[in-house]
Structure 1
């Protein structure tokens, strides 16, 4: 009998790649979406689709893990400055996943996989990683078998810099010498399924190459153009706090974490094959708005 996997966030950039990999591995698939657009994205891979906002309507999700062997969650709020969504990071990163976890406990799923983020343990003073840290804690005390995957960042997460480059500015924070090895979502999805039940309780995962933030900005500049401008950390901090003061808390949370990751090393175990340069060469920048 096929093993059944529930995929949360299945229509997102990472979730869709996880969905594709699950399909290749011949799993029986259940997926959760809250929109017609999400349904149209995933319907080619499964007919077992549940509708509901996991953060606000836990009763709609009762029984969602019934008959499910594994849960893989790539569900969370976008950190893009150009992709505002109504729910808070607390609602999307924590509450939504918490509601599904409670159902998974009732139905005693075999394994719960949660895509968190690097910094969930060490940068929890910031709202975004803190909401992931809270969810990690819930998983650890659930008595379920689990794997927490902390990517250092996705190439698609740098699309904001591509958008700004198209507007002729590429902002960096500090001296821009902080290093990272962001990963392509295709590589991360493949890594999850290649390791799968052999994954450790927690792992920090990156792509195949380490670059400084300035190196990556120069690659974007070469592809698109724009002027690289370095802002002092103090100025970036002021911008995030000012956003909160004028009732743009979600933007403020994004700006303060953007400032943090741009000025701190974010490096994980090297995996995958797709480099950032390859990613830039493959994408159609006109689709990134």
Structure 2
């Protein structure tokens, strides 16, 4: 079967990585059916996708017939890591449940290959509930009998957008001493890594960005983009852990996220530098676009 003959289902196509991947695949002339949770999300991919399906993968039975005729599934399904959270469901209740339903539907439909956007599990934070959700999905895919690849970015630039907002306020919060190292990566670089394994490839593809820097360095770049003097507040990671424990029964998603922040920001998270697009340029573009919006007349 030629590459263009593959029929792809892309779940999570309206996310930062999913949208970039959709553009890449359509530019290659691929057939891509997208799966979106809401009609509002689906409206963003009309004109790009070959076919558009609206269904919530978290709901049992919602995917009946959605995988018919599909040979390869690419899942970019995953709950947001933004601190501006309306959704309260835990990462397990979204990521694991939705991807398990998608995997089960794939097996019933005779899908041959499953490509999953996972996360880089550094030893200092692989135990967190956020990472456990991703690794739990990986375990289910490994046991499915389908061919697979997992693309594991260290951290995607879009997850750092809150830092620009903090810089505008004039104070950046960092868990721990800020010396842990990381090399986050642009969503386009991650999309390119996914596109490379659509038809086959390694079981695990770690993806890091071009620049290894400390957590303090990342926050300072956000301040640089806004043109403000960097002011950093180092908060003991134990504060985040206590807040996580207190929120466990009230806001499971935020509880999971605070646990993850406490661990990942105090641990090295570095993967091979596959990405080429620097964080400084992405922050500058983000800060510039927000500045333009703030100057737009009503």
TM-score (norm 2): 0.90
Instruction: Name the CA shift for 1:288/1:3 in 2 (closer, same or farther; >3 Å).
Output: farther
User: Is the contact made by 1:14 and 1:189 (CA closer than 8 Å) also made in structure 2?
Assistant: yes
1:120 and 1:128 map into 2 onto residues whose CA distance is 12
The one of 43, 49, 67 equivalent to 2:46 is 43
Farther off after superposition, 276-285 or 147-156: 276-285
Q: Which residue of 2 aligns with 1:240?
A: 244
1:206 and 1:260 map into 2 onto residues whose CA distance is 18
Q: Which residue of 1 aligns with 2:235?
A: 231
- Unpaired stretches in structure 2, ≥5 consecutive residues: none
Instruction: Name the CA shift for 1:120/1:108 in 2 (closer, same or farther; >3 Å).
Output: farther
Farther off after superposition, 116-125 or 134-143: 116-125
Q: Which residue of 2 aligns with 1:192?
A: 194
1:130 and 1:183 map into 2 onto residues whose CA distance is 21
Farther off after superposition, 99-108 or 195-204: 195-204
Q: Which residue of 2 aligns with 1:13?
A: 16
1:238 and 1:137 map into 2 onto residues whose CA distance is 30
User: Is the contact made by 1:162 and 1:285 (CA closer than 8 Å) also made in structure 2?
Assistant: no
- Give the deviation of 1:288 after TM superposition: 9.7
Q: Which residue of 2 aligns with 1:210?
A: 212
Instruction: Name the CA shift for 1:276/1:264 in 2 (closer, same or farther; >3 Å).
Output: same
1:84 and 1:204 map into 2 onto residues whose CA distance is 30
Q: Which residue of 2 aligns with 1:262?
A: 265
Instruction: Name the CA shift for 1:288/1:267 in 2 (closer, same or farther; >3 Å).
Output: farther
1:165 maps to 2:167: yes
Instruction: Name the CA shift for 1:124/1:5 in 2 (closer, same or farther; >3 Å).
Output: same
The Cα offsets for residues 140-193 of structure 1, whole Å up to 9 and x where unpaired, read as 000000001111101111112222222221001111111111111011111222
TM-score (norm 1): 0.92
User: Is the contact made by 1:239 and 1:252 (CA closer than 8 Å) also made in structure 2?
Assistant: yes
Question: RMSD of aligned C-alpha atoms?
Answer: 2.1
Moved beyond 4 Å, runs of 4+: 286-289
The one of 248, 251, 256 equivalent to 1:253 is 256
**Is the partner of 1:112 in helix, strand or coil?**
strand
User: Residues 10-159 of structure 1: matches in 2 within 5 Å?
Assistant: 10-56=13-59, 58-119=60-121, 123-159=125-161
Q: Which residue of 2 aligns with 1:285?
A: 290
- Unpaired stretches in structure 1, ≥5 consecutive residues: none
Farther off after superposition, 233-242 or 109-118: 233-242
1:188 and 1:250 map into 2 onto residues whose CA distance is 24
User: Is the contact made by 1:71 and 1:109 (CA closer than 8 Å) also made in structure 2?
Assistant: yes
- Give the deviation of 1:120 after TM superposition: 7.9
Aligned residues: 287
- Give the deviation of 1:241 after TM superposition: 2.2
